[in-house]
């Protein structure tokens, strides 16, 4: 499913109307692991939640729920995200290898 781009809004009019006149801040409300994951995914890697999940062999609902604070990160997911932060290209290659192993190649 393709994501629909947001319409260009140079004055942030839509966000101000929807949020009591405050400019949109995607970091607001996030803290701890959720904030770190969001910043890695969105600010550093510039990926949507779906693209991040697909690139690194993770489930989209997992990434969504972690960023929304609906799920607490397990030690395994903390390790995976830390490894992605340290070496995004290396973890992408590892995810590709894991996909090939799962397919029996």
Q: What is the pLDDT of residue 8?
A: 58
What parts of the chain have a pLDDT lower than 50? none
Q: What is the pLDDT of residue 12?
A: 53
| pTM score, whole prediction | 0.71
For residues 79 and 24, give the distance between their C-alpha atoms in angstroms, rounded to a whole number: 31
Structural domain includes residue 16: no
Q: What is the pLDDT of residue 105?
A: 77
For residues 85 and 87, give the distance between their C-alpha atoms in angstroms, rounded to a whole number: 6
Structural domain includes residue 15: no
Structural domain includes residue 3: no
Domains contained in the chain, number: 1
Q: What is the CATH number of the domain that holds 52?
A: 1.10.260.40
Structural domain includes residue 93: yes
Structural domain includes residue 69: yes
Q: What is the pLDDT of residue 20?
A: 60
Structural domain includes residue 59: yes
Structural domain includes residue 1: no
Structural domain includes residue 8: no
> Which residues constitute the domain of residue 72?
26-102
Q: What is the pLDDT of residue 52?
A: 97
Rounded to an integer, what is the distance from CA 48 to the centroid of its chain?
6
pLDDT in tens, 79-93: 999 999 999 999 999
């Amino acid at each position: 499913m393709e994501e629909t781009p947001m319409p260009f809004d140079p004055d942030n009019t839509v966000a101000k109307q929807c949020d009591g006149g405050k400019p949109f801040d995607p970091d607001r409300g996030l803290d701890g692991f959720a904030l770190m994951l969001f910043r890695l995914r969105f600010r550093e890697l510039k990926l949507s939640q779906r693209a991040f999940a697909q690139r690194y062999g993770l489930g989209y609902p997992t990434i969504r729920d972690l960023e929304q604070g609906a799920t607490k990160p397990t030690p395994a997911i903390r390790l995976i995200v830390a490894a992605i932060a340290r070496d995004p290209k290396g973890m992408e290659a590892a995810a590709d290898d894991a996909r090939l192993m799962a397919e029996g190649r």
